[in-house]
Amino acid sequence: MDSCLFCKITKHELPSKAVYEDDRVYAFQDIHPQAPVHVLICPKKHIATLNDVGAEDAPLLAYMFDVARKIADQSGVAQKGYRAVINVNADAGQTVFHLHLHVIGGRKLSWSGD
């Protein structure tokens, strides 16, 4: 996907602040953090939304959550609490159509569904 922002970021064609990288995922700091810890975990494979995940991608999804758990631990929020969330399409406010898992923590998070 030549035009995809997060494809460019995962390939380091655009700058970002790296948190973790391996052959399957790239994790980096969100440019507009919603909390003291706000990391985005992207698969290197282009998948537009969670709706586009196939059965063959189940190990990748599980792996993204495994990375989230480790990032939360290394960021010092694992015990106090954090959120690991995927926004899907317009009603959830998805703005970048390359699958990404937000890891958000470091402050008390409200939960209203809004």
For ligand 5GP, the binding residues (CB under 6 A) are 5, 16, 28-32, 40, 87, 93-96
> Quick one: CA dihedral 47, 50, 54, 58, positive or negative?
positive
Choose between 32 and 108: whose C-beta lies nearer to ligand 5GP.
32
Is 100 considered catalytic here? Answer: yes
- What are the Cα distances from residue 108, in Å, to 34, 50, 57, 65, 77? 11, 26, 32, 21, 11
Q: Name residues contacting Zn ion, limited to 5-24 (CB under 5 A).
A: 6-7
| Stretch near Zn ion under the rule CB under 5 A, chosen from 4-12, 26-34, 53-61, 75-83 | 4-12
Site residues (CB under 5 A) for Zn ion?
1, 4, 6-7, 46, 98
